[in-house]
Structure 1
Amino acid sequence: MFGISIWQLLIILLIVVMLFGTKRLKSLGSDVGEAIGGFRKSLKDDKEGSAS
């Protein structure tokens, strides 16, 4: 129904890079990665804490 082609994704990516710049996107990506890592660590710690 609403299929997105690879060309549409590339155009969107190009627009995002032009708007935000590569340095800002890199820092945003690392921030998101750290947040996901912290979330996974807290889940792991929670499981270990409730198991004992």
Structure 2
Amino acid sequence: MAVKYQSFAKSCLTVGKWTNPEPLDHGLEIIPRTDLSDLHVGDLMEVDARFHG
């Protein structure tokens, strides 16, 4: 049995106008599609979940 595990963290900061982040081609990615600069507690957030692309 072989197990490979890699963990990466990506943060999204907004300076000026919001632009959607690009995928980094990692095994599992959760990418926000909602403008995070105008997000408040209780708001819904849309994400793009990718598994191997």
The TM tier, using the shorter chain, reads: under 0.3
Larger RCO, structure (CA 8 Å, separation 6 or more): 2
TM-score, normalization by structure 1: 0.23
